[in-house]
Structure 1
Amino acid sequence: MNKILIVDDDKRLNKTINEVLERSGYSTCMVYSGDEAIDKISTDRFDIALLDLIMPGMKGVDVLTEVRRISPKTKVIMITAFATIESAIDAIRKGASEYISKPFKINELLTIIERVFEESRFEDNIGKIDIDYTLSSLSNAIRRNIITLLHSQTKLRFMDIVRQLGVEDSRKIVFHLKILREANLIRQNKEKLYVLTEEGKITFNSLKIFENYLTSK
């Protein structure tokens, strides 16, 4: 289950966010100061930290720096008042993934959280592939369409690919299939049907996550 740390000295807001996130299926933990947040991050694993920028004692930006040092995989979403937007942007430069301004709507917060999880999943997937070679092999629309076809239909014969893509010159498909095979994104099984490799599946999922991330901006 995705785990979120909520860090805000406003106990009422902290409790409200906690209740909403729990109803949305997230595992949560509430703390009320930067020092408490550092203690929790040091002893437990969190996917996301919701961090108030302005708190008594240790400031949000300082907590952000410590969170990124102690737990680099933990994504940080800064919570800020209207008057501190510039500080929030500075926090983004220092490693925060997103920020949200008070007062905010709960649906807006949930959308940002899901977007950050999408970002995290994309980073996890993209780390498993040879990014330069893979992106080069997918620079052509026909090759991207082949990947999409094989993802949706699992396995296809050569002529099925040609027919579904509507390409008159089948030699072009031979060329594009060769590029995808060399990139280890597709292969032929014992029945000579084309299928995605594990790397091909990861690549497709990464592209969809990236596409969803961009369209949610």
Structure 2
Amino acid sequence: MNLKLLLAEDDVPLREVLVEALTLEGFEVADYDNAEDAIDAAGDEHFDLALFDVVMKGMTGIEALSNLRRLQPNMGIIITTAFATVDVAVDAMKKGADEFLTKPFNLAALSTTLKRVHAERSPLTTIEERSNDQVFSALANPIRRAVINHLRIHQKMKFMDLCRVVGIDDHTKFNFHLRQLVNSGLVEKGEGRIYSLTSRGKEVHSSMLK
């Protein structure tokens, strides 16, 4: 299974190179040009690793650390910068970074570092805990909770019918939320874009009522 990497880097050429190189190395990369959007993504889905630049527009990579740790405590986090000082490195490590890299870095060495950080983090999280993290993340959004409720009532629903009953006009946005529910194992997608709850989804719905 590919490792899911959250990348925040505002240098566009470098970000494109990183995405291409790390994808070839087997990573599934979600890339952003600022920390705020990347943190939003971390609130919506599970990531194994994060690679954040220190200096970006808005929030810095170091300022983002506490948010990432709160959202996904077991994520491996690597901070990168072209302006490295001992003080910055120490600050990053104190605030929760697993590794600190100075630019320019060797892409092959970066891949090795990412995999090492993940391996060091992996014993801290069992498969069941990761699954629970995904479920918790899926249920954090009211739109996704509404989908689960309607699917429990109606058993099976087409995409457009679900959009209508949940009250979402933006189909792209709604499709994103459905994908998160499918990825977390709560909802399954059948032929003709017909959605229904999995057995796990039904269990979670029951627990939501308690």
What is the TM-score normalised by the length of structure 1? 0.55
User: What SS class does the counterpart of residue 30 from structure 1 fall into?
Assistant: strand
Query: Which digits, 9 at most, give the CA deviation of each residue in 1:82-102, with x for residues without a partner?
Result: 444421221111111101100
Q: CA deviation at 1:9?
A: 0.6
Report the secondary structure of 1:50's partner residue: strand
Matching of residue 9 in structure 1 with residue 3 in structure 2: no
Moved over 4 A (4+): none
Structure 2 counterpart of 1:181: none
C-alpha distance in 2 between matches for 1:85 and 1:102: 14
Residue 124 to residue 70, structure 1, CA distance change in 2 (3 Å): closer
> 2-side partners of 1:44 and 1:118: how far apart?
20
> Which residue is equivalent to 2:90?
89
Q: Which position in structure 2 is the counterpart of 1:44?
A: 45
RMSD in angstroms over aligned alpha carbons?
A: 1.7
CA distance in 2, matches of 1:56, 1:89: 22
Provide the residue aligned with 2:117 in structure 1: 116
Contact 1:53 1:88 in 2 (8 A): no
Matches within 5 A, 1:56-135: 56-124=57-125
- Distance in 1 of aligned mates of 2:87 and 2:104: 16
Q: Which amino acid in the other structure matches residue 42 of structure 2?
A: I
Larger C-alpha radius of gyration, 1 or 2? 1
CA distance in 2, matches of 1:11, 1:64: 22
Relative to the length of structure 2, the TM-score reads 0.56
1:27 Cα deviation from its structure 2 partner: 0.7
Rounded to whole Å, the distance in 2 between the matches of 1:69 and 1:123 is 15
Aligned twin of 1:24? 25
SS at match of 1:4: strand
Distance (whole Å) between structure 2 residues aligned to residue 104 and residue 112 of structure 1:
11
Distance 1:72 1:107 in 2: 26
Matched position secondary structure for 1:99:
strand
Unaligned runs of 5+ in 2: 127-210
Q: Distance in 2 between matches of 1:63 and 1:27?
A: 21
- Aligned length, in residue pairs: 126
Please say if residues 80 and 88 of structure 1, whose CA atoms lie closer than 8 Å, have aligned partners that are also in contact: no
Distance 1:63 1:124 in 2: 22
